[in-house]
């Protein structure tokens, strides 16, 4: 087998997530991790030494030496850094969200086109084996979707609120499943820990009548991530943490035989009917998805796209649409957000 041409890569930002980018790329076939960049010199040096590569505090020092970069910096820096890289003809994977606003995202897409660069957005849940299994198991069009993403307070990514930090994961998954943009967006939430929203409940309505409800919180005691989809023939639930997918479908005998109330009117024993619900009337299945690492799969797709000049599954357009909907959720929230901190201050003043 011929050896893969090595792609010279750099990781910009080696904090909590970026260090995992560096670890995976340093061990990936066909990749030469030439350097990591981070304004925190001690952090950059530690990660670089761990993977026998160079480090800098200014990313601009190593851009001309590489073919592609992954950008794992705070959101407010995404546009500036990504645009500089694209203007120099560098392929780039930008961690989600693509940018802080829609106009910036549109500009990055145009730059990628102008300079013939791969622009991938790091919506990692698209590579979650449980989500992939859910997609493969669907047999008809989603009519109702419900997503829940809860986590303890992260003590990072505090330049954005829970919508652009967590909810945007599920927004992107739902846009992929529905294949369209919502016609109506409504949201309610609360602001507790600081300057941005911490809990949000959003409802998206789509052409044709499909509805999606999304719950996101970064002040929950324990993490929880799940996605449920109802169609005309089934309902599926993917636990994105444990990677179990549960499927329920009515059986042929249930759909073509007597309705349950007719069976009861005919005198069939209720206790006996109860034992037949799951099995004879409703088919249930729980499947354990693979343990494949989603971040490795995401980075591998990026390197393959760079090598073969192909488009990633989460391209700039997908990243832009996720930002567009996230912004609409945030806009709806402006009149429906409880500022718990402000209320507490007012109550204290009154007292």
Distance CA 93, CA 294 (A): 15
Per-residue pLDDT of the chain in tens (351 residues, 90 and over written 9): 456 789 999 999 999 999 999 999 999 999 999 999 999 999 999 999 999 999 999 999 999 999 999 999 999 999 999 999 999 999 999 999 999 999 999 999 999 999 999 999 999 999 999 999 999 999 999 999 999 999 999 887 778 899 999 999 999 999 999 999 999 999 999 998 888 899 999 999 999 999 999 999 999 999 999 999 999 999 999 999 999 999 999 998 888 899 989 898 999 999 998 998 888 889 999 999 999 999 999 999 999 999 999 999 999 999 999 999 999 999 999 888 888 655 654 454 444
Neighbours of 290 (CB within 10 A): 10
Question: What integer pLDDT is reported at residue 321 of this predicted model?
Answer: 99
Instruction: DSSP letter for 280, please.
Output: I
What count of Cα atoms within 13 Å lies in the side-chain half-sphere of residue 175?
24
* Helix (H) or strand (E) segment spanning residue 264: helix 260-265
Instruction: DSSP letter for 289, please.
Output: P
pTM: 0.92
Instruction: DSSP letter for 152, please.
Output: -
Please give the C-alpha separations between residue 305 and each of 101, 176, 284, in angstroms, as whole numbers.
Answer: 26, 20, 38
Distance CA 136, CA 114 (A): 35
* Helix (H) or strand (E) segment spanning residue 201: strand 199-205
* Sheet arrangement for strand 282-288: 282-288, 244-250, 235-239, 224-230, 144-150, 211-217, 199-205, 184-191, 337-339
Return the closest-CA partner of residue 322 out of 165, 195, 215, 198: 165
Neighbours of 7 (CB within 10 A): 21
Structural domains of the chain, ranges and CATH numbers in brackets: 7-124+294-314 (3.40.50.720), 126-293+327-337 (3.30.360.10)
Tokens read off for 63: 């851009």
Burial tier of 248 (Cβ tally within 10 Å: 0-12, 13-18, 19+): middle
* Helix (H) or strand (E) segment spanning residue 225: strand 224-230
**Rg value, the chain, Cα:** 23
**What is the DSSP code string of 310-342?**
---SSBHHHHHHHHHHHHHHHHHHTTSEEEHHH
Question: What integer pLDDT is reported at residue 254 of this predicted model?
Answer: 87
């Amino acid at each position: 087998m011929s050896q893969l041409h090595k792609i010279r890569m750099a990781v910009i930002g080696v904090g909590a997530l970026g260090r995992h980018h560096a670890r995976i790329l340093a061990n990936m076939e066909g990749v030469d991790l030439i350097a990591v960049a981070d304004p925190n010199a001690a952090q950059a040096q530690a990660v670089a030494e761990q993977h026998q590569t160079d480090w800098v505090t200014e990313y601009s020092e190593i851009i001309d030496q590489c073919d592609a970069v992954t950008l794992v910096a705070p959101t407010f820096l995404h546009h500036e850094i990504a645009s500089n890289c694209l203007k120099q003809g560098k392929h780039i994977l930008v961690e989600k969200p693509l940018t802080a606003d829609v106009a910036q995202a549109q500009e990055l897409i145009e730059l990628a086109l102008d300079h013939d660069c791969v622009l991938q957005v790091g919506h990692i849940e698209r590579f979650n084996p449980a989500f992939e299994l859910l997609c493969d198991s669907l047999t008809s069009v989603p009519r109702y979707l419900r997503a829940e993403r809860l986590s303890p307070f992260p003590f990072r990514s505090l330049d954005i609120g829970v919508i652009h930090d967590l909810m945007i994961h599920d927004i992107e998954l739902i846009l992929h499943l529905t294949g369209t943009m919502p016609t109506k967006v409504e949201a309610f939430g609360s602001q507790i820990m600081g300057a941005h929203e911490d809990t949000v409940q959003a409802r998206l309505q789509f052409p044709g009548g499909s509805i999606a409800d999304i719950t996101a919180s970064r002040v929950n005691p324990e993490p929880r991530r799940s996605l449920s989809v109802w169609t005309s023939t089934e309902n599926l639930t993917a636990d994105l943490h444990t990677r179990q997918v549960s499927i329920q479908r009515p059986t042929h005998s249930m759909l073509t035989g007597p309705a349950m109330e007719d069976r009861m009117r005919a005198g069939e024993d209720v206790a006996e009917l109860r034992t037949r619900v799951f099995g004879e009337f409703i088919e249930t299945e729980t499947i354990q998805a693979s343990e494949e690492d989603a971040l490795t799969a995401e980075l591998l797709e990026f390197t393959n796209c760079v090598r073969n000049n192909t488009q990633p599954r989460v391209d700039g357009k997908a990243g832009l649409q996720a930002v567009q909907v996230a912004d609409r959720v945030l806009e709806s929230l402006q009149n429906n957000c409880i500022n718990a901190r402000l209320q507490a201050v007012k109550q204290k003043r009154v007292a």
